[in-house]
């Protein structure tokens, strides 16, 4: 069972507009990522204007969680994040990181910009 398995339909307790948006985004993420991933997207606890996203990869056991404000750019941002997570977790680099190869990389640094001096 994923560490973030829902225990109650949290989205049913809050605003229908946000619930509908989150349901659509969750379904789109599930279609984009496929059955290898478990996706939970709900309104966060006591804050009806906040979301909580959890994505777990069943092959590696790696989980990603994100939370933030429900705003006009939410759907695009979460779909882009989902695509980025899938690309990372299904990459050759990640496969090497999770292997027992003594020359495997230990950290993922792709996409980090160096500080400007």
Is pLDDT of 98 > 70? yes
**51-92: per-residue pLDDT in tens?**
999 999 999 899 999 999 998 889 999 999 999 999 989 998
Q: What pairing do the DSSP bridges indicate for beta strands 50-57 and 37-43? A: antiparallel
**Domain extent listing, the chain:** 10-97
Q: What is the CATH number of domain 10-97?
A: 3.30.160
3-class SS at 66?
Answer: strand
Q: How confident is the model at residue 43 (pLDDT cuts 50, 70, 90)?
A: confident
81-113 b/e (C-beta count within 10 Å ≥ 16 → b): ebeebbebbeeeebeebeeeeeeeeeeeeeeee
Q: What is the mean pLDDT of residues 39-58?
A: 88
Q: How far apart are CA 89 and CA 62, in angstroms?
A: 8
């Amino acid at each position: 069972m994923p560490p973030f398995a829902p225990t109650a339909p949290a989205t049913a307790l809050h605003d229908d507009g946000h619930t509908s948006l989150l349901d659509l985004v969750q379904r789109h993420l599930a279609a984009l990522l496929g059955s290898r991933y478990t996706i939970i997207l709900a309104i966060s606890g006591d804050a009806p204007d906040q979301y909580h996203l959890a994505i777990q990869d069943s092959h590696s056991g790696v989980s990603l969680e994100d939370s933030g404000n429900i705003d006009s750019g939410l759907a695009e941002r979460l779909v882009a994040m989902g695509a980025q997570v899938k690309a990372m977790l299904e990459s050759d680099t990640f496969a090497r990181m999770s292997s027992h190869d003594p020359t495997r990389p230990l950290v993922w640094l792709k996409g980090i910009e160096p500080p400007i001096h």
